[in-house]
Structure 1
Amino acid sequence: MPPRSKVNSSLGKAIIRKRFEGKRRPTDRDTELHTTDMDDGPSWTKLQSITQQGDLEEFLHTAELAGTEFTAERMNVKIIAANDKAVNPYLLSAAEEAQTLQRHREHGDMLRVPRRPAWDDSTTAQELHRAEREAFMAWRRDLAQLQEQEGLLLTPFERNLEVWRQLWRVLERSHLVVQIVDARNPMLFRSRDLTAYVAELDARKRSLLLINKADMLSDAQRLAWADYLDAQGIAYLFFSAKESNARLEEERERDAAERLAQEMAMHTVDEDALEGIQDLDQLRTREQQHVRRDHERDAAEAAAALAAFEASVHAVSLSAADLRTRVLQPAELVSILMRECPKIADEHSHGRLMIGLVGYPNVGKSSTINALVGSKKVNVGAMPGKTKHFQTIHLTDSVVLCDCPGLVFPTFATTQADMVCNGVLPIDQLREFTGPAGLVARRIPRWALEAIYGIEVRVRPAEEGGDGVPTAEELLTAYAAARGMFKGGEGNPDEARAARVLLKDYVAGKLLYCHPPPTWPAAQDFNADHYEPHAVARRTRHLVEGPAGQGFTVRHAASDRNNVRRAVVTGGSARVDALDARFFTTGAALKQAQRGAAGHRVTQGRGFAQMQVAVAARSHVDNEGEVRAQGAVEAAQMAAQAQQARMAGGKKAHKKKRPGKQRSGQGVIDEMYL
C-alpha cells in the first residue's frame, strides 16, 4: 500500500467551493468559455498595464476580445539579420536609419488611437462593452497588418482595454487636453492622432503640447524646436518639473525651520504657564486650546498660500515672444493653461475649467502635477504612486486637473536599441545589451565619456579598420574594468552589468543626448553645446584645463592602474595571446614554474591572499571614477592576518569530517593519503 500523501486533499475542494460560492456549478451542457474569463476581474487587476504579450497570452486575449471563437491574430516577428558590412547587427547604418525615418513619416497617419463606439441613452452596458471590445480588436488587427505588410517596427503599446477606457473618460470630460512629452525626444512621445480625436469629440476642445524636462535643452535647442513646432502649427509650452519641485523643496525646508523656531518659543511660554496648573481638567482644557490653535494656524496658512498663488497666477503677463523659448514657472504655466482652455458648459464641469493631462508613464507627468499642486502648499494626498483610475484634482477654485493613467501610445521605432535608450523598454529586463550600448557610444563623444567617468576607452586603430568611435564592447570593457566589475568564474570584465549602469545614466540624463527636429540637418551638431569642453568641465573633475593655450586634458583616474590596463584590450583573443607570449617567451617565469613543479612546493593560502589583494585593489573606485585612498595595502594586511590565524590554529582550524557510509574504494584512497 503506497504511503498516504502529506498534501491536504481537502484544500483543492475548499478553493473550488469558495470560487463557486453563491453560484451554480458549471455542467457539461453549459456553453460557456472556460479557457478565458469573460469578466474583467476584480478591481485591482482591471488596470494593470499590458504592453508586451507572449504567444499564449496574445492568443487568449484575442479570444477574450472576440468572445465567440478561438481565433488569434498571427504574431508578427521581425528577425534582424546580421549584416557583414555593419559593425553591430542590432543597429542601422546612417543610410538605413534615414530611409526608415522617411517611411515613418509616410505612414504616420496610420498610427491611430482607438475610438470609443457611439452610444446613447438606449444603449445597455452589455451592448456598449461588446462594441468596445469589437472596436478595440479591429484596431489591434490594423496595427498587426501595418507591421506585417509594411515591415515597420512598433514600440510596445497598451493592450489593456480598461486603460484606454480611462483615456476616453478623460477626453470626454476635459476642455483642454495637454500631452506631456520628454524634451529629449518630443516627437516620439507625441501622438498626432490624439489631437484629431479630441477635435472629433468636440470642435471647441483644444490640445496642447507640454515639453517637460526643458532644462535639459539649451537656448539654441529650444529655439530650434520652437521654429519647427510653429511651422507645424502645434501649440506648445516648455516646462521643467524637476527644477520647480527643487525650488518647492527649498521653500518647504525654510518654512519648516521658521515654524520650528516659533514652536520652540511658544513651548517655552507654555511651560511657564503650566507651572501653576495642578487640576487635570484645566490641563486638558489647555491642551485642547493648543490643538485648536494649531488647526486654525494651519488653515490660515493654507488659505494665505492659496490666495498668494492665485494672485501670482493672475499677475502673470507674458508676451508671445517670451513664451517661445521660456521655461515656465508653475504659476506661469497655470496662467497660460487658464488662458488657452476654452469655457465649455457641461454637466461635468459645473462652471470650472477642466484640463486633462495625458502622457507616457516615464515623461514626468506625476512630477508635473506635483509641481503644480505643491506650488500652493497643499499635499497631494489623493494621488497614489501609480494612478489606477483617472482622478480630478482641484488646482484653484476655477481650475480642475483631470489626471489620466500613464498610457503607452503606439509609435514607430527604428530598432530595439532605440526603444531602450528612450526609456520605452525596461533596462533591468534587458538581455541584448550591445545594441543600446553601441548607440550610446555613437551619440556621446568618446572624450566626453572618458571625462565623465574618468576612464580610458581604447579603440581599434585606423590601420585595423577603426574610425575612432568606440564599439559597445570597447566601451563596456573599459567601464567594467575601471569599476571592478568582473565575472566570478572567468575574471573577464562584466559587460552586461556595466551596460545596465551606463544605460540608466543615459535615460536619467547624466549622459545627455537630445534628438533634433526632423528638419535639422545633422544630429551631432544639435548637441554641440552640451559637450563643449567648458560645459563638461563644470560637471566633472576629470576634465582639467591646462596652461594657457593648451586646452583641456582628460584624467583617466579610474583606468591608470596596472590591473585595469591589462584587462582592457581591443581584441577578443589579444589578452590570451599576450599571456601566452609573456609566459613562454620569458625565461625567468618559465624556469620559476618548472622549479615549482619539480619540487611540488605549494604555499598554503598564497593564492587566496593574492586574489583578495587584486579584487580589493580594483574595486575601490566610486561611481564618479575616483580611486579611493584605501585599497591594496589594507587588503594585503587583512589577508596576511587571516593567513597567520589559519596557520596558528593548526588542526583545530579544520573541521572533522562526519563519518558516513564508505563507498567502494574510498577506504583505500584514504589510507594512501594518510
Structure 2
Amino acid sequence: MGPRAKVNPTLGKSIIRKRFEGKRRPTEKDTELHTVDLDDGPAWTKLQSITQQGDLDEFLHTAELAGTEFTAERMNVKIISTKQTANPYLLTAAEEEKTLERHRENRSRLKVPRRPEWDHTTTAAQLHRNEREAFMEWRRELARLQEDEGLLLTPFERNLEVWRQLWRVLERSHLVVQIVDARNPLLFRSEDLERYVKEIDEDKRTLLLVNKADMLTDRQREAWAEYFGEHGIRHLFFSAKESNEQLQQERERAEAEQLAQDLTRHTLTDEQLDEAAAAELKEEALHEEASQKPDFEAQVRAVELSADQLRTRVLTPAELVAVLIRESPAVGEQGRVVIGLVGYPNVGKSSTINAVVGSKRVNVGAMPGKTKHFQTIHLTDSIVLCDCPGLVFPTFATTKADMVCNGVLPIDQLREFSGPSALVARRIPTHVLEAIYGISIPTRPAEEGGDGVPTAEELLCAYAAARGLFKSGEGNPDESRAARVLLKDYVAGKLLYCHPPPSWPADVSFNAEHHDMATLASRSHHVVADPNAPGAFSVKHAASDRRNAQRAVRSNTPLASLDRQFFAPASGAALLSAQRRSKSHQVVQGRGYAQMLGNGIAARSLVNDRGEPIDSSAVPAAMSKQSKRHKKKRPSKQRSGAGIFEDL
C-alpha cells in the first residue's frame, strides 16, 4: 500500500481569499442585520443561497422585493389566553363547533374512488391505466380540499390494490353491510360508499351494522335509533364480542358434558384406549359438527322479529342472519345471496363473521389490517359472506388527538401524547379515572388557574407514579409509557366514552350512566359501598397511598416544589451537608441507587396485589432485609497457545 496522498492545507484559505478578493473580510464587529433598504447589509451576503426561511426572514425578504416601507412598534402586551391549562394541540369549544360546521358544509366532497367503466372489449392494460389515472385524480381532489379549505382529513388508504379489493366486493355483493363502531358510528360511516353502490346497480342494497353495541346503554341505543330513523338509515345493533363469548361458553359446556358421558360409559385406562375407540370418538365429533349446520338453519328460520324490536335490540347471530336474508334483494331460486362486509380496520368485521359462522373461519388480530384479500365464506346453501379488507375512508377530523382516541392512528407510533391524554382527561371524569385505576389525581387549584379537570401532565404523572413507571437514570415519572397504557385502555373500551348523535342536547350528559358510581362499583374493585350511608360509595386510592408515589407526584409539581424549597428551614443546611459528605468521599458511587432500589422494593412488598397496604408484621424478616452475595468467579479454562512465551 503506497503512502497516503497529502492534502493541500492552503486550499481552503485560497478559496476564501478568492471569495473576498478586492473586499474587506467581515470581522466580529460587522453586523448582518439589515433594513428594508435595497442593497443593504454586507456585500458577501448577497449571493448566499436561501432554501428555507423563517416567518420573520420571509417577511423582510418579501418587503425588500416589493419595495415596501414599514415601521415596527412594540405596543402593550396582550393576553392571548387567560386559561393556563389550555392545551395547544386541542381546540376550544367555540373552535370545535366552527370546525364541525365546516365539516357539514363540505361533507359531499368526501368521495370514494370510482372504478372506470369497462366492458369485454377493454384490455387488462387499458383497464389498469384507466384505474391509475382515476385514482390519481381522486387524490388530487382530496389534496385540493385540504389546501383550499384548510380542513384536516384522517389518513386514508393510498394503495390502489386495496381499493381494487373493495371494487370487486361491491360488484359481487347483493347486499353491502357497512360495519361501524358503536362508540362513534358517524365517524366510521361513509355516505358516498352508499351512493357508489347505487351507481353500480340500482337493485343493490346497503345496511349499517352497529357493532360493539354492548358498550351502549338502552337509552343510548334509543337515541341513535331515533337519529337513524329520522335520516332514513337502515341499521342493526350487534355485538360480536358477546356472541363469541357465549359461543365459547356453550362449546366448553358441551365438551364437559361429553367428557362426563365418556367417563361414565367407558371406564378405560390409557393402555386400553386403542385405535378403534379413537376412531369412534372422531366419528362422533364429525357427526356433531355436521348436525350443527341444520340446527343453525332451523334457528334462522324460526326468527320472527318486528320492526319495533329491531330498533334497539342487540341481535344474536341467528337473528342477524335472518334479518340479512330479509333485507337482501331477490336473486331467483337458483341464485345465492352474496353479502359483502365493508368497514374500517379493527371495527370487528372478522369477529362478526366468526360469530355468525360459529367457528374461527377468519383470522382475528388486535392490529388493524389482519385481512389482506377479500374472501368468501359459505354460510348456508343460499348465503355467501364476502369479507373485504379493512379500508380507511377519507373522513374529516378536528385534531390529530381525536384521531388517536378513535383508533385511527396507531398508538405505538405516537410522538406527541399530551394532546390525546388531555382529551381523555376531558372526556372521562376524574372520579372515573380514580375509581378504575385506584389512584389519586391532584389538580391545580382555582387560584392558580385550574378548572377542576386534570391536565395531561397531572393525569400521566399520577398514573405513572402509582404504577412505578419511572425514567431510568432520572427518577421522574415516565409520562410517555403512562400515556400509551391509558390510550390503549380508552381505545379498547376500558375507559368508556360514547359520542352522542348530533341531535342530542348539549346540556344533557350522554355518558351519565357509564360514569355512575354504582356502575363503576360493578366494574372496579377500587369502588366500595359505604355501610354507614346506603347508596353512597367511596374510592380506595390504594395505589397512590405509597410514599414513593406521593413523593414522585409532589416532586413533579413545579409550584409546590418551589414553595417547599423556599420555605423549608433546613433546605440550605441539608444541601451543604450533602456537598460536604460527597467531598469527604462518604458517598460511594452506586450506593445511593442501590439504597433507593431497595427502598422501592420494600415499599412494594408491603402492598398486596390490589395495591392495598398490609401489616408489616406479617411480612417475613427475610423479605425486609436484602442481602447481596457475591459468587466466587470460576477459574476459566486455559486457552490454546497460553504459556508459549514462558520459556523465552
TM-score under structure 1 normalisation? 0.76
Are residues 537 and 265 of structure 1, via their aligned partners in 2, closer, same or farther at CA, if it must alter by over 3 Å? closer
The question of whether the paired residues in 1 share the 8 Å contact of 2:351 and 2:364 is answered with no
Larger deviation: 170-179 or 263-272?
Answer: 263-272
- Distance verdict in 2 for CA 1:531–1:120, change over 3 Å: same
1:194 is aligned to: 193
Contact 2:340/2:387 (8 A) holds in 1: yes
- Partner of residue 336, structure 1: 323
Separation in 2, partners of 1:623, 1:234: 52
Q: What corresponds to 1:245 in structure 2?
A: 244
Match of 1:457 in 2: 441
SS of 1:181's equivalent? strand
Q: Give the corresponding residue for 1:542.
A: 526
- Verify the 8 A CA contact 1:155 1:419 in the aligned structure 2: yes
Q: 1:493 to 1:631 in 2, by over 3 A?
A: farther
Aligned to 1:299: 286
The alpha carbon displacement at 1:593 in A equals 4.2
The equivalent position to 1:394 in structure 2, one of 359, 375, 378, is 378
Q: 1:462 to 1:131 in 2, by over 3 A?
A: same
Judge conservation of contact 1:178–1:210 (CA < 8 Å) in 2.
yes
- Map 1:119-198; keep pairs closer than 5 Å: 119-198=118-197
Distance 1:502 1:382 in 2: 27
State the AA in 1 paired with 2:298.
A
- Counterpart among 485, 500, 503 of residue 487 in structure 2: 503
The residue type paired with residue 508 of structure 1 is A
Cα pair 1:173 1:354 within 8 Å, conserved: yes
Query: 1:568, CA displacement in angstroms?
Result: 1.2
Equivalent positions of 1:354-369 (< 5 A) are: 354-369=338-353
1:565 aligns with 2:580: no
SS of structure 1 residue aligned to 2:462: helix
Which residue of the partner structure matches residue 89 of structure 1? Answer: 88
8 Å CA contact 2:110–2:192 kept in 1: the answer is yes
Q: Decide whether the 8 Å contact of 2:606 with 2:616 is kept in 1.
A: no
Which of 295, 299, 307 aligns to 1:320? It is 307
Counterpart code for 2:158? R
For 1:434 and 1:635, locate their aligned partners in 2 and report how far apart those are by CA, in whole Å. 43
1:374-398 Cα deviation digits (max 9, x unpaired): 1xxx552799992222111011111
Give the deviation of 1:292 after TM superposition: 5.3
Query: By how many angstroms is 1:572 displaced?
Result: 4.8
Per-residue CA distance 1:213-270 (angstroms, 9 max, x = gap):
0000000000000000000000000000010000000011112222333444565469
Taking the TM superposition and a 5 Å limit, the aligned residue runs for 1:48-63 are none
Distance 1:515 1:152 in 2: 21
Between 117-126 and 538-547, report the one with greater CA deviation: 538-547
Alignment of 1:421-460 (within 5 A): 421-460=405-444
Could you tell me whether the CA contact under 8 Å between 1:443 and 1:524 is conserved in 2? no
Distance 1:557 1:308, change over 3 A: same
Contact 1:147–1:153 (CA under 8 A) maintained in structure 2: yes
Unaligned runs of 5+ in 2: 4-78, 636-648
SS at match of 1:207: strand
**Alignment partners' CA distance in 2, 1:428 and 1:477:** 19
1:87-133 CA deviation, whole Å, 9 max, x = no partner? 10000001111111111111111111111100000000000000000
- Give 1:653 shift: 8.9
CA shift, 1:491, in A, is 0.8
Cα distance in structure 2, aligned partners of 1:246 and 1:152: 41
How far did residue 596 of structure 1 move? Answer: 3.9
C-alpha contact (below 8 Å) 1:458/1:569 kept by paired residues:
no
State whether residues 422 and 507 of structure 1, in contact with CA within 8 Å, keep that contact through their aligned partners in structure 2.
yes
SS in 2 for 1:208: strand
TM-score w.r.t. the length of structure 2 is 0.79
Distance of 2:535 and 2:262 partners within structure 1: 58
Match of 2:544, SS state, is coil
Q: Which residue of 2 aligns with 1:228?
A: 227
1:116 aligned partner: 115
Cα distance change on mapping 1:83 and 1:312 into 2, 3 Å: farther
**Residue 238 of structure 1: SS of its match in structure 2?**
strand
- CA-to-partner distance for each residue in 1:324-343, whole Å, 9 max, x for gaps? 11000000000000000002
In the superposition, relative to structure 1, how do residues 273 and 575 fare at CA in structure 2: closer, same or farther (>3 Å)?
A: closer
Is 1:241–1:367's contact at 8 Å kept on the other side of the alignment? yes
Change (3 A) 1:593 1:131: closer
After superposition, the Cα gap between the structure-2 partners of 1:555 and 1:268, relative to the gap in structure 1 and judged at 3 Å, is closer
Please give the per-residue CA displacement for 1:637-664, whole angstroms capped at 9, x wherever unaligned.
Answer: 6695435x46xx9xx8999xxxxxxxxx
The residue type paired with residue 234 of structure 1 is I
| SS state at 1:356 partner | strand
The DSSP-based 3-state class of the residue aligned with 1:392 is strand
Partner residue of 1:577? 562
Aligned residue type for 2:168:
R
3-state SS, counterpart of residue 187 of structure 2: helix
* Alignment check: 8 A CA contact 2:598 2:626 kept: no
Contact 1:483-1:619 at 8 Å conserved across structures: no
Out of 493, 503, 509, the position equivalent to 1:525 is: 509
Asked whether the equivalents of residues 425 and 455 of structure 2 are also in contact (C-alpha less than 8 Å), the reply is yes
CA distance in 2, matches of 1:337, 1:138: 36
TM superposition shift of 1:432: 0.2
For residues 479-498 of structure 1, the aligned pairs below 5 Å read 479-498=463-482
**1:272 & 1:452 partners in 2: Cα distance?**
52
CA distance in 1, matches of 2:293, 2:535: 56
Tell me which amino acid in the other structure corresponds to 1:220.
R
Deviation at residue 152 of structure 1 after TM alignment: 0.6
State the match for 1:406 in structure 2. Answer: 390
Change in Cα spacing, 1:531 to 1:273, as seen in structure 2 (3 Å) is closer
Give, in whole Å, the separation in 1 of the partners of 2:623 and 2:131: 69
1:613 pairs, out of 598, 607, 627, with 598
**How much identity, in percent, do the aligned residues show?**
63
Per-residue deviation at 1:474? 0.5
Asked whether the 8 Å contact 2:460–2:482 carries over to 1, the reply is: yes
Q: Mean Cα displacement is larger for which, 518-527 or 584-593? A: 584-593
SS at match of 2:352: helix
CA distance in 1, matches of 2:545, 2:613: 13
Q: Which residue of 2 aligns with 1:380?
A: 361
Q: Given residue 599 of structure 2, which amino acid in structure 1 is its aligned partner?
A: A
